[in-house]
Structure 1
Amino acid sequence: MRGNQLRGEIPASLGLLSNMKTLSFAINRLRGGIPPSFGNLSSLEVLDLRTNALSGVIPGDIGRLTNLSYFSVGENAISGIIPVGMFNLSNIRIFNIGGNNIQGTLPSNLAITMPFIAFFSVWENQLSGKIPISISNASNLNVLQLHMNRLIGNVPSFEKLDKLSILLLGANHLGKRTEGDLNFLCSLVNNTKLETLDIRTNNFGGVLPECISNISSSLQFLEIENNKILGRIPDGIGNLINLEVLQVSQNQLSGPIPLNTGRIQKLNTFDARYNFLTGTIPYSIGNLTGLMFLALGVNNFRGNIPSSLGNCKDLLVLGLSYNNLSGSIPPQVLGLSSLSILLNLSSNYLTGELPVEVENLKNLGDLDFSKNKLSGLLPKSLVSCVRLERLFLGGNLFEGPIHSSLSSLRGLVELDISENNLSGGVPEFLVNFGALKYINLSFNNFEGVIPSGGVFKNASAVFVEGNNKLCGGIPELQLSRCNSKKSSKTSLRFKIVIVVVVVVILGVTLVLSIVLIFWFRKRKVQQPISTFAENSLLWLSYRRILKATDEFSMRNLVGSGSFGSVYKGILEESGVVIAVNVLNLLDHRSSRSFLVECETLKNIRHRNLVKVLTAISGVDFQGNDFKALVYEFMINGSLEDWRHSPTGTSELEMMRKLNFFQRVSVTIDVAHALEYLHHHCETSIIHCDLKPSNILLNEEMVGHISDFGLAKIISANELNRSTKMSSSLGLKGTIGYAPPEYGMGSELSTKGDVYSYGILLLEMFTGKRPTNERFRDGLSLHNFVKAALPEQIIEITDPILVEERVTRGTPDVKNLRNDRHLWCLNSLFEIGLACSAESPNERIDMSDVVTKLCSIRDKILLSRKVRYLLILEEILYHSIT
């Protein structure tokens, strides 16, 4: 009965089935206790009740089941003590009571009375006492999970346990903080199968023995953090060539990082924080190209940050704070676009200006360069870091004003630029940072009126002391009142300047108008006059567009739609590659679409929205109206190309398949963009036409939303009431992706985009379009997925992903909790269903979608250790039954 949704209690009458050999109610929602009548099942070999909500105690009668070889009640709420008779079951091979509230001690003769034990798991209980010395004789033991209890004393020898692959002793009270605590590690040297060794969060002391380097090369996880371990990281650590996770933080280790650490090519997590490590960070660390997490903070490292870290293209977290590092920040490090969680270089002695390469950190959430000696202006390139939530630059030598381009950092939650030499006024745009909860501007040279809106209304969140020329603000800030006379003079001067500027502009405009009139009269065929989106980078004419696209050659046609065609172009002067969307003006709706898109794009900026370079409106060489939008070119095309390209066997076609993690990343990119449009623009924007062909991918496979021709800009009060369709564009969206309420003439809302996103997500992971021919007679993509979860998840998943999953082992649909890949896949489908609910009121918000997706991504990126532990019991179960 395992892997269902059974509720209620286990019937005691099952105890009458005396010939039963296997009984499994694992992975359900059962409550109540374990029936004592199970003690009558004299033929029982397998009893599997794990992962429910069972309570009470383990009945003593279970100790009479002498044929029992598999006993698992893990992950319940069982209490009491383990019946003594349970340890006399001589045929037992798998014993799992982990994840309960069981008390007591382990018997001293454990391995003698259980001579065949292979899997012994008592993790996360309240067991006390010592680890039985007899465990040293359990020669069949594969897995020993004793972590998260209250065990004390020394750890016995494991010399005879040559089959041991997983040893988890973490989160106990083992060791005495003295020399000799770690002697047991050397007893593992002859074990060739050990893959996981976890002794973290105990009382182990003494010097880390050199023999750790001679432990099996099969070792993948070595976790010794949060102890009192002394000495150096052994020079031979590089012998552990299959190590994926090395966690030695929160100890008392000293000396340098061994040079041959660079040999551990599979290492993805290296955490050595809170020690006394010295020397320089070895250049060889750049050989660890698979690193995702590197934390060396709170040590005594000196010298420069090695530029070789730029080779670690998968790095998500880099922490080097609280050391003695000096020199400039290597541009190679700031060029790591993979950094998406944290970059912390604070509390060092770094000098120089902040490299412009900081613009590459488009995905970064937290950036901390505080308490260094960095100088120069705050770089405008920070404008690209639109995902930043925390920016700490305090305690440096930065000078000059806060540039207006930083107004794009609307997602900031915390901002600290205190203790610098910054000057000028406090920017008014900070008032519009809706997420901002903490801002520290103290001890700078800011002057003028401080804003009183937004975060500045909360005195407990604003720090401005040490800026003697600031005035105004809310009374709680206790700043002086602004000088009205001075303000009047300043206002008068400002008005005079405005008048002068206006007069100059009118004069220049008049002159240019006269010149243009004569110019138009002189030429019969004229080039178009360009109008530009905000922050335009290009001034393009029809002639240059024509030349860049090779006269709109079919070879350069990227795609076409009802409103126009998109061409790839290369500007002759600079070699810049662009995308030109030429509108089909024969369709009267195109002009309206053009205006809508211009109006939308000039007000938004986000790393997951296609960047507009310029807009052109004029006439072509035949005197016909010509309108075009010019975008940055996305080299990897649209999601439509990747998801539904023609199948074949060529190498190119095989490459153009998105793997599981790429699909998750793209869905997160799109979710972030929609969240920005809905909640973080000055006025909320509804895209109205989200579909795969409108999702473009750059060279790093980062997703960008494009095509705002149907977009609707709504004010805050409109967001809270119906927004009736009044556009001449008619039905909003594309069949299959447009929400059902739009087809019935209902209001536009952000919930419509949420629906389209849900369908897009379901399509991404099923590989099926919402317009697939099988979806008829009431069956939709939404219902197709809903009916299949969770038992038939494999049947509805894109075969490419199923094949990818099978290469890593047989999927276990009945045990989603133990299969991280399938669990994440199931969670993704559930998010898609929640977004594409028929009723708008039942759909979740994009902010919630982002939170859920990022949580799934983080679980995917976690080490494979947890997944391995969870499925190992299942493997052993099958080997016995």
Structure 2
Amino acid sequence: MRSGAARSSNAARWAAAGAAGPGSAAGKARGGGSGAGSARARRAAATRDWTAAGLLHGGTGAAWGGVGDARLARPCSRRGEARPKARGGLALQQRGWSSPASAGSVQARRGPAPCRRGAGHLRAGEARCERSSFQPQRPPTVIRKKEEAATEVTMRWATAHLPLATCDETEDDRQALLCLKSQLTGPAGVLASWSNTSLDVCSWHGITCSTLSPRRVIALDLDSEGISGSIPVCITNLTSLTRLQLSNNSFHGEIPSELGILSRLGNLNLSMNTLEGNIPSELYACSQLQILDLRSNSLHGRIPPNLGQCEHLQEINLSNNNIEGAIPSSFGTLPELRKLVLTNNRLTGNIPPSLGSSRFLKYLDLGVNALIGIIPESLANSSSLQVLRLMSNNLTGELPKALFNTSSLLDISLQQNNLVGSMPSVTATSPPIQYLDLTNNHISGKIPYSIGNLSSLIDLRLTENNLSGSIPDSLCQIPALQILAMSVNSLSGPVPPSLFNMSSLTFLAIGNNSLVGSLPSNIGYTLPNIQALILSTNKFDGPIPASLAKAYNLDNILLDLDMTAYVTDFGLARFMFTTRSAHQDRSTGLACLKGSIGYIPPEYGMSEGISTKGDVYSFGVLLLQMMTGCSPTDEKFSDGGTLREFVDRAFPDNINAVADPAMLQDDSNATEVMMKCVIPLVRVGLSCSKTSPRERPDMGRVSTEILGIMHVASQMGVM
């Protein structure tokens, strides 16, 4: 029977070998790192392994798990020293640190320590066996007293050395954040908690840490904090970062290409800043990226095609920039893509048909660009697509019939293109379409009777097309219809009486057509929710119903009943055309003409007679001034240019460059406001301020358009 000293020596040898073992099978089974330099990602597992394998098994068996990494063997208190390159207990002894064996004052027996499978021996003075071959034997049984002593030694050693990886990694994060703070400016107190004297980064403002040890920084959220500066490259030292949110600040400069180093990054939001330059192609290396939001900056260049390699991308928002070129067809191959928003850029080329292959794509917004070609039929094949917004492009061709008969589409916005042909028939029993906007195209023919099958329709806009025929009474069968806009077409015949009985209507615009008949006397009661009623420039007759006074929600009304013309009360118009004879008696003198330079129409300087078209011009200039914040007499026009020319050069692709930034700076829904309100108003201003009076619209039509825009704005809550 072995003596107690021999057993104690065996146990000590086991402890030393275990502490130095760089790659034991037991350590690897528990996720420990190899002595040759374990990966940083395994350190947390190694720490848990020591605790579980060593302390639970008791005795010197705590050496399982392989702690040969020099970072695990370096105490925080000695952070200034160079890391030992050697591994294991011997290296620790040489640097003045204790191994488990030496700490317990147990005499280690000289001679080889056995490795299983005959892979090699630990010779005297060596710290390890061959990598991946060291397989320590079960420590010999020792008496209880010696076992308890060895356990105490192991616990002391583990407490002193094993948390070191956590200390190192947390310190790396802390230093990265302090570097970030040193290069940014912002309101006092925003980053006050980011102090050099505070060691707990997890308590700092905007920081989220992982719940398990080591507690690494996994999220940096500094949205809307008033911070300015360029994005420091040292932010990439936060190697565990999964979410980076810096939106709605004043960051400038270029997006660091080094962000591609952050392989765990899942959410990158740099929206609503003043970032410039190209979108870094290196972002494709962020293999876990799910959300990429760079909207509302000043980015230019092309969209990197290799972003299509980020197979986990679910949302891409690059709207409100100056991005050029074509839409990468690789976006159509992203298997998890759900939302693609590229609104208000300078994109050209065709819409990639491959986007119709995106099985989970729900939201597609490519509006306000310079896209050409037809609308791909394949988009109707996307079984999940709910929102399709392609407005304000140069799209041509006919409306795809399949779009009106899908089982998923809720919103179809195709306004302000060059689409032709007739409106497709609705063959499906009850498509879910709620919003349909075909305004300002070249669609002709009759409104199909089958449009009544769109039983979920809330908003229907067909203004400024070439539609003819009568208004189908099937429209009156849509129970939830609130907005019906069909002005500026060639519609004729009487209005279906049931149209004036739709209690759900809040906006009805059928002006500038050739409709006939009279209004029902009880219209004020049958349209209780009506807010805007535009019937001007038709061929209606009869009196204005007194019941309209009972329509308490009615804010705007344009009628021309019993009149051959309707003139909006604006400027000089109130002095003209009060009677038919006034037309022959009007004065053409300019002696009493009043007005400011820049607002007076150019034809007045050529001795042409005054007219309401002059008022239209003045109104257009005033509208452009409101949209841009620039006066027509601004110094920038001293070289002979005009406000209209200044705006026209930027419209619509670069409207952000001339629009008054104060209009949108506090609006979280700036993209939609720009598209639905600002651009339409600028278009009206440009139309009104054309040089030739014949090309200007009459104020009746202008009022119709502006009231429609006002109604949209009120629904969006911006009025």
Q: TM-score, normalised by structure 1?
A: 0.42
Is 1:7 aligned with 2:177?
no
Match of 2:715 in 1: 861
Is 1:134 aligned with 2:330?
yes
2:574 is paired with a residue whose SS is strand
Matched length: 405
Is 1:80 aligned with 2:277?
yes
State how far apart, in whole Å, the 2-side matches of 1:238 and 1:54 are.
50
Match of 1:269 in 2: 459
Match of 2:13 in 1: none
State how far apart, in whole Å, the 1-side matches of 2:429 and 2:575 are.
48
Shift, 1:60, TM fit: 2.1
Equivalent residue letter for 2:535: L
Is 1:63 aligned with 2:260?
yes
Which of 411, 423, 430 lines up with 1:221 in the alignment?
A: 411
Shift, 1:258, TM fit: 1.8
Match of 1:324 in 2: 514
CA deviations 1:347-391 (Å, max 9, x no partner) are: 211122323333233432322223xxx43xxxxxxxxxxxxxxxx
State how far apart, in whole Å, the 2-side matches of 1:294 and 1:225 are.
15
State how far apart, in whole Å, the 1-side matches of 2:306 and 2:383 are.
26
Higher Rg of the two aligned structures:
2
Residue 240 to residue 255, structure 1, CA distance change in 2 (3 Å): farther
Which of 372, 376, 393 lines up with 1:202 in the alignment?
A: 393
State how far apart, in whole Å, the 1-side matches of 2:410 and 2:187 are.
39
2:284 is paired with a residue whose SS is helix
Equivalent residue letter for 2:254: V
State how far apart, in whole Å, the 1-side matches of 2:459 and 2:437 are.
7
Shift, 1:314, TM fit: 3.2
Residue 354 to residue 460, structure 1, CA distance change in 2 (3 Å): farther
Shift, 1:114, TM fit: 0.7
State how far apart, in whole Å, the 2-side matches of 1:446 and 1:204 are.
47
**Identity percentage over the alignment?**
27
State how far apart, in whole Å, the 2-side matches of 1:207 and 1:315 are.
29
1:21 is paired with a residue whose SS is strand
State how far apart, in whole Å, the 2-side matches of 1:355 and 1:240 are.
36
State how far apart, in whole Å, the 2-side matches of 1:238 and 1:203 are.
29
Match of 2:124 in 1: none
State how far apart, in whole Å, the 2-side matches of 1:438 and 1:237 are.
49
Is 1:444 aligned with 2:579?
yes
Match of 1:616 in 2: none
State how far apart, in whole Å, the 1-side matches of 2:287 and 2:505 are.
49
2:516 is paired with a residue whose SS is strand
Shift, 1:156, TM fit: 1.1
Match of 1:103 in 2: 300
Which of 12, 34, 44 lines up with 2:241 in the alignment?
A: 44
Is 1:294 aligned with 2:484?
yes
Is 1:89 aligned with 2:279?
no
Is 1:35 aligned with 2:170?
no
Give matches, 1:89-488, under 5 Å.
89-111=286-308, 113-157=309-353, 158-176=355-373, 181-182=374-375, 184=376, 186-215=377-406, 217-236=407-426, 241-331=431-521, 333-338=523-528, 341-370=531-560, 374-375=561-562, 395=565, 415=569, 439-440=574-575, 442-444=577-579
2:426 is paired with a residue whose SS is helix
Contact 2:502–2:527, Cα closer than 8 Å, also in 1: no
State how far apart, in whole Å, the 2-side matches of 1:155 and 1:165 are.
16
Equivalent residue letter for 1:220: L
Residue 285 to residue 249, structure 1, CA distance change in 2 (3 Å): same
Contact 1:12–1:35, Cα closer than 8 Å, also in 2: no
Contact 1:219–1:240, Cα closer than 8 Å, also in 2: no
Q: TM-score, normalised by structure 2?
A: 0.51
1:51 is paired with a residue whose SS is coil
CA deviations 1:781-838 (Å, max 9, x no partner) are: xxxxxxxxxxxxxxxxxxxxxxxxxxxxxxxxxx99589xxxxxxxxxxxxxxxxxxx
State how far apart, in whole Å, the 1-side matches of 2:346 and 2:668 are.
27
Shift, 1:339, TM fit: 5.6
State how far apart, in whole Å, the 1-side matches of 2:249 and 2:262 are.
22
CA deviations 1:463-520 (Å, max 9, x no partner) are: xxxxxxxxxxxxxx9xxxxxxxxxxxxxxxxxxxxxxxxxxxxxxxxxxxxxxxxxxx
State how far apart, in whole Å, the 2-side matches of 1:11 and 1:107 are.
38
Give matches, 1:764-775, under 5 Å.
none
Equivalent residue letter for 2:238: L
Contact 1:336–1:360, Cα closer than 8 Å, also in 2: no
Contact 2:294–2:317, Cα closer than 8 Å, also in 1: yes
Shift, 1:151, TM fit: 0.7
State how far apart, in whole Å, the 2-side matches of 1:84 and 1:329 are.
62
Equivalent residue letter for 1:108: P
State how far apart, in whole Å, the 2-side matches of 1:444 and 1:56 are.
63
Give matches, 1:690-701, under 5 Å.
none
Contact 1:10–1:30, Cα closer than 8 Å, also in 2: no
CA deviations 1:74-124 (Å, max 9, x no partner) are: 12222221122113211111111011111110122331x211111111111
Residue 290 to residue 73, structure 1, CA distance change in 2 (3 Å): same
Residue 287 to residue 321, structure 1, CA distance change in 2 (3 Å): same
State how far apart, in whole Å, the 2-side matches of 1:11 and 1:57 are.
26
Contact 1:98–1:121, Cα closer than 8 Å, also in 2: yes
Shift, 1:267, TM fit: 1.9
CA deviations 1:196-244 (Å, max 9, x no partner) are: 10001111101112121233x2321110010010111110176563222
State how far apart, in whole Å, the 2-side matches of 1:164 and 1:14 are.
44
State how far apart, in whole Å, the 1-side matches of 2:233 and 2:424 are.
53
CA deviations 1:283-326 (Å, max 9, x no partner) are: 11112332222110111111111111223223222111121111
State how far apart, in whole Å, the 2-side matches of 1:440 and 1:338 are.
35
Equivalent residue letter for 2:545: P
C-alpha RMSD over aligned residues: 3.9
Residue 240 to residue 50, structure 1, CA distance change in 2 (3 Å): farther
Of stretches 164-173 and 251-260 in structure 1, the one that deviates more from structure 2 is: 251-260
Give matches, 1:700-711, under 5 Å.
none
Residue 56 to residue 212, structure 1, CA distance change in 2 (3 Å): same
Contact 1:300–1:323, Cα closer than 8 Å, also in 2: yes
Equivalent residue letter for 1:7: P
Which structure's relative contact order is higher, taking Cα pairs within 8 Å and 6+ residues apart? 2
1:261 is paired with a residue whose SS is helix
Equivalent residue letter for 1:278: S
State how far apart, in whole Å, the 2-side matches of 1:61 and 1:13 are.
23
Contact 1:212–1:237, Cα closer than 8 Å, also in 2: no
2:352 is paired with a residue whose SS is coil
Contact 2:430–2:455, Cα closer than 8 Å, also in 1: no
Residue 332 to residue 172, structure 1, CA distance change in 2 (3 Å): farther
State how far apart, in whole Å, the 2-side matches of 1:261 and 1:332 are.
27
Match of 1:20 in 2: 217
| Structure with greater strand share of residues | 1
Equivalent residue letter for 1:209: P
2:268 is paired with a residue whose SS is strand
